[in-house]
Amino acid sequence: MEAIYECMESVLPFSFMHYDFMKNALLAVLLLTPIFGMIGTMVVDHKLAFFSDALGHSALTGIAIGVLLGISEPVVAMTLFAIVFAILLNSIRRSRVSSSDTVISVFSSTAVALGLVLLSSGGGFSKYSSYLIGDILTIRPAEIAILAVVLVLTLIFWIFCFNKLLQISVNSTLASSRGVPVKTMELIFILVIAVIVTISIRWVGILIINSLLILPAAASRNVARNMRQYHLLSVLFSMAAGVIGLVASYYYGAAAGPTIVLVSAVFFFATFFLKRLVRN
């Protein structure tokens, strides 16, 4: 890591680069934000924004169940529970027994309430309250390596599954007629979202992680003229918001995650009004 640190100091001669925790945070942002930018476009296209938000909220219950089962690492408990939660929620969502938004809302609110009850009953909620807003400044080099692996795996997934997911988002019936395993691909994509969300929560926070998935993609959709621009701009908006938000949080003494979300929101509203201006 020392070689990487030295390179960062020479390329970015700013005062905040004198601190290792800022270097680690910047590396984490440069690894996390492309993942959010890529996955967020398909979350928006598949109308899964509320679904990914419910997955984030389920983290509290995952932590609580992990505590009850004696799982020492909260991320493991969160990930395992999120996978089960995602499979169950997707099955009920596809059953058409009730509208999707109603089912997701029921699961989301239940997961939050159950997690809060289980954690607060033992008086240990304060220990895990940091997961609500996250803290990317606490990330360690070993965890940065994990994020690098996740980014590579996400790129591989994107290369092999992008066209199929795109077909499904346009017309699932047509995609099925062309041999695309719609149910299988949707399940795989939902599981990918579940894993990425739960791995990122420690540094991003339960309350805002969905915003980091949705806002860059939504901003990109406002101005993109084709599919290539849509995905490229989503990644660029996500990375730009991450870097600007991180640096701004350092100078203003604010939490990094919420500051990044605010920058993403600025991008969204700027592109929204730009779109309206061009139309008029």
pLDDT in the model for residue 265 = 94
Is there a domain that residue 78 lies in?
yes
pLDDT in the model for residue 156 = 92
Q: Using 50 as the pLDDT threshold, list the residues of the chain that sit under it.
A: none
| pTM for the predicted model, two decimal places | 0.87
CATH of the domain at 159: 1.10.3470.10
Query: If you ran DSSP here, which 8-state letter would residue 80 be given?
Result: H
CA distance linking residue 48 with residue 101, whole number of Å: 10
Inter-residue contact 35 to 234 (CB < 8 Å): no
CA distance linking residue 187 with residue 131, whole number of Å: 26
Is there a domain that residue 102 lies in?
yes
pLDDT in the model for residue 97 = 63
Inter-residue contact 164 to 185 (CB < 8 Å): yes
| Total structural domains within the chain | 1
Inter-residue contact 51 to 106 (CB < 8 Å): no
pLDDT in the model for residue 264 = 93
Question: Amino acid identity of 92?
Answer: I
Is there a domain that residue 61 lies in?
yes
pLDDT in the model for residue 36 = 92
pLDDT in the model for residue 232 = 93
Is there a domain that residue 4 lies in?
no
Tell me the pLDDT tens digit for each residue of 135-165: 888 888 888 988 899 999 999 999 888 888 8
Is there a domain that residue 223 lies in?
no
Is there a domain that residue 257 lies in?
no
pLDDT in the model for residue 169 = 84
**Neighbour count for residue 142 (Cβ, 10 Å):** 8
Residue 124 lies in domain: 16-207
Is there a domain that residue 240 lies in?
no
- 109's CB contacts (< 8 A; 6+ apart) are 57
Is there a domain that residue 274 lies in?
no
Instruction: Tally the C-alpha atoms within 13 A of residue 75's C-alpha that lie toward its C-beta.
Output: 14
